[in-house]
Amino acid sequence: MAINFRGLLGLLSLITLAASDDLPTLYEYYTEGGIKSGLSVDQPYFTLNGKNISIYSGAMHYFRIPPELWQDRLRKLRATGANTVETYIAWNIHEPQDGVFDFGDGGTESGGWADVARYITLAQEEDLFVILRPGPFINAEWEFGGFPSWLLRNEGIVVRTSDSTFMSYVERYFAQLMPILAELQFTKGGPIIMFQVENEFGFSSKIDMDYLQQLYDLYKSSDLVELLVSNDGPDVGQSGTLPGKLFQTVDFGADAKNNFDKLIKIQPNKPVMDMEFYTGWLDHWTEQHHTKSLEDFTNIYEDILAYPGSANLYPFHGGTSWRFLGGSNNGPGDNSGFNPVTSCYDFDAVLNEAGDYTPKYNVTRDLIKKYNTIEVATPDPPEVKERRVYDSLDLNGQLKFEDILKQVPDKIDSDVPLSMEMLPINQNSGQSYGYIVYHKEGLDISADSLLTITGHVRDTVMVLVNNVLISKPLTSSDVLEEFGYWKIENGNITLTTEDLEDATLDLVFENWGRVGFGNFYYQFKGLTDDNQVFLNDEELNSWTIYPLEFKKAWNQNLTDWGEVEESPSGPALYKATLTIDDEDDITDTFIDMRDWVKGFAMVNGMVLGRYASRLGPQQTYYVPGPWLQKGDNEIIVFEHSLTPASQIKFTKDVIFDTP
């Protein structure tokens, strides 16, 4: 490949590429002679603009990759010979508050992630086609399957159905989103060749065909002219699609021939596509890190290509569920089966969480080369950027829990305990993420008093009496079976062994991410309609509620740091300063949280993710270099337990460990 290929990529539309191979770019190949038609499934194979195409796609979610690194990851995908990138679009990124839209850096918490058009345009610059899955439901192990939490403020709303309240919000959101996407379609000169309507609708707990039809009509009336598809597991038949209107794809991680045969039975004489060929698997807390062997990956991918079929590698690069936006799964019945997913979304994918090449990379490249009959110019894989293990840092500040609360801007007095979503904050959109504190003062608590919270807590609660933590920190997965955690119902705890007068009581709830798949019950966080709090036999009401959202600007503004205590009495923030003198020393790194117990970490105000080292498997937190700066960088940890580590440590590579 010509040495200057990268520089040329940006000029592709202006010049005819005369690379050393004399090969056209992918885009030139498919648009030569003008664009007349998009992706067609009118024959047993795909064509694009009348030319044969097999779709070699990789999933990479723009909201899981630092925007500064989008281009690097896209080029790594293209360099395998893949011709397409696929991404979901997350509604909660683009409408973080009711009626507040962000499709650029609109100053919301979504920051650069809001600029989805830039991601699509970058993909085109990197010579990739694009498959979009705008949902509005996406699952993706993402918070609430992509839905904004403020939807829950509408009593009785039923998401993923034709419920008119839900649909009115979908229509309002699509009216903003779809014009942006319409302009970027292939037949209008953009890279988008396919849209997926909804996601695995055949697995929905409420199959409402009217809803699917209404979504289809919305896509159509939004001037989306490229191929519209559905995607479902291979065994749900046509229960999640609109035959004749949506082209059906399937998702599976193994057994390619059998699964494609099933698809051909219900959709004969059409090409076949695995919309999610699982490159590995996701991790819930307490599980062992999931992997898929190189051998399985190789054999199954080859089975798909040899069938012959098309596939979207799910994912090519998983990345990270930044901030508090990782989602959860659950089980049937009550909320004891709640099952949150780690912030790390490595997935054992083709690129790892930090964007390094794994052994699956060359296999992908070699298999695509073996089966692809279309010869176009392909860039060389970009060099992997070096990662640094910065020196361990001593802590240089502690902010006690009561001093954190003093800095919360909105506190709400309420007779009844409001859940996060129902708080009158964020322009009446409630609180979406983070922690919520229910605080009482002036309590007389007699010795051996019992605090009971009825129902299951959502999702965990710490109890502080006079600012002293009395509930059990998450020092092992066994603790999940005790008071303060979601598994048990009607849990209780003894508040004191002596009589206390004029005491304070704090209930500190953490939201571990809303469910994104299956049934959507139990999505409210904090104290909900299913919970009552009793002090012995007396129900406690009249709380002062503190939303602890940990938004970036607020995090960067925290003050009143004190000395680090030898033995803290409650959860606290701990701070360390990473000073980088030389611009060249700024690289990606990982923070190693193995010496810490439970909480979350942030860098320069940006929340990197939740940690729960005694649960595992995630032990390290990816810090992208572009988020570090020359000079001082503030690393802050919110530790729940009374045993904080004494240092912040770094590591070069990701560490998975389930104790």
Ligand X SMILES: *[C@@H]1O[C@H](CO)[C@@H](O)[C@H](O)[C@H]1NC(C)=O
Four-point Cα dihedral 314, 319, 322, 324, nearest 10: 40
Q: Which of 5, 371, 521, 554 binds ligand X (CB under 6 A)?
A: 554
Give the pairing type, strands 328-329 and 631-639.
unpaired
Q: Are 119 and 183 in contact (CB under 8 A)?
A: no
Stretch that binds ligand X, among 509-517, 549-557, 565-573, 597-605 (CB under 6 A): 549-557
Nearer to ligand X, 281 or 371 (CB): 371
Give me the 263-292 binding string for ligand X, x by CB under 6 A, dash otherwise.
------------------------------
**Is residue 454 a contact residue for ligand X (CB under 6 A)?**
no
Q: What is the biggest distance separating any 2 CA atoms in the chain, rounded to whole angstroms?
A: 86
Nearer to ligand X, 161 or 362 (CB): 362
Q: Which of 162, 372, 492, 504 binds ligand X (CB under 6 A)?
A: 492
Q: Are 492 and 455 in contact (CB under 8 A)?
A: no
Burial label, 21 (beta-carbon count in 10 A; 0-12, 13-18, 19+): middle
Q: Are 571 and 638 in contact (CB under 8 A)?
A: yes
Q: State the nearest-atom distance from the C-beta of 45 to ligand X, in Å.
A: 5
Stretch that binds ligand X, among 146-154, 208-216, 393-401, 553-561 (CB under 6 A): 553-561
Nearer to ligand X, 18 or 450 (CB): 450
Residue of 141, 143, 226, 276 with catalytic role:
276
Nearer to ligand X, 129 or 361 (CB): 361
Nearer to ligand X, 161 or 452 (CB): 452
Q: Are 181 and 132 in contact (CB under 8 A)?
A: yes
Q: Is 183 a catalytic residue?
A: no
Return the closest-CA partner of residue 45 out of 309, 306, 225: 309
Distance CA 474, CA 597 (A): 7
Q: Is the dihedral of CA 521, 338, 348, 253 positive or negative?
A: negative
Bridge partners of 461, per DSSP, are 509
Q: State the nearest-atom distance from the C-beta of 359 to ligand X, in Å.
A: 5
Nearer to ligand X, 26 or 159 (CB): 26
Three-class DSSP category at 398: strand
Q: Are 377 and 1 in contact (CB under 8 A)?
A: yes
Count how many Cα atoms sit within 13 Å of the Cα of residue 480 in the half-sphere of its side chain.
Answer: 19
Distance CA 300, CA 295 (A): 8
**Is residue 553 a contact residue for ligand X (CB under 6 A)?**
yes
Q: State the nearest-atom distance from the C-beta of 405 to ligand X, in Å.
A: 14
Q: Which of 20, 557, 629, 646 binds ligand X (CB under 6 A)?
A: 557
Residue 629, token pair as written in the block: 């700066």
Residues 6+ away with beta carbon under 8 Å from 271: 41, 43, 44, 45, 46, 309, 310
Q: State the nearest-atom distance from the C-beta of 380 to ligand X, in Å.
A: 9
Nearer to ligand X, 506 or 549 (CB): 549
Stretch that binds ligand X, among 64-72, 200-208, 410-418, 551-559 (CB under 6 A): 551-559
**Is residue 494 a contact residue for ligand X (CB under 6 A)?**
no
**Is residue 45 a contact residue for ligand X (CB under 6 A)?**
yes
Nearer to ligand X, 456 or 514 (CB): 456
Nearer to ligand X, 73 or 649 (CB): 73
Q: Are 636 and 407 in contact (CB under 8 A)?
A: no
Per-residue three-class SS string for 247-273: EEEEEECCCHHHHHHHHHHHCCCCCCE
Q: State the nearest-atom distance from the C-beta of 29 to ligand X, in Å.
A: 12
Q: State the nearest-atom distance from the C-beta of 554 to ligand X, in Å.
A: 4
Q: State the nearest-atom distance from the C-beta of 535 to ligand X, in Å.
A: 12
Give me the 336-365 binding string for ligand X, x by CB under 6 A, dash otherwise.
-----------------------x--x---
**Is residue 536 a contact residue for ligand X (CB under 6 A)?**
no
Residue of 95, 109, 200, 549 with catalytic role:
200
Give the pairing type, strands 47-48 and 39-40.
antiparallel
Give the pairing type, strands 460-465 and 393-394.
unpaired
Q: Which of 4, 13, 52, 288 binds ligand X (CB under 6 A)?
A: 52
Q: State the nearest-atom distance from the C-beta of 109 to ligand X, in Å.
A: 12
Distance CA 47, CA 37 (A): 9
Return the closest-CA partner of residue 257 out of 292, 300, 297: 300
Residue 131, token pair as written in the block: 């498959």
Q: Is 200 a catalytic residue?
A: yes
Distance CA 611, CA 602 (A): 11
Q: State the nearest-atom distance from the C-beta of 378 to ligand X, in Å.
A: 12
Residues that bind ligand X (CB under 6 A): 45, 52, 359, 362, 450, 452, 492, 553-554, 557
Task: Give the residue numbers annotated as catalytic, written as ranges.
Answer: 200, 276
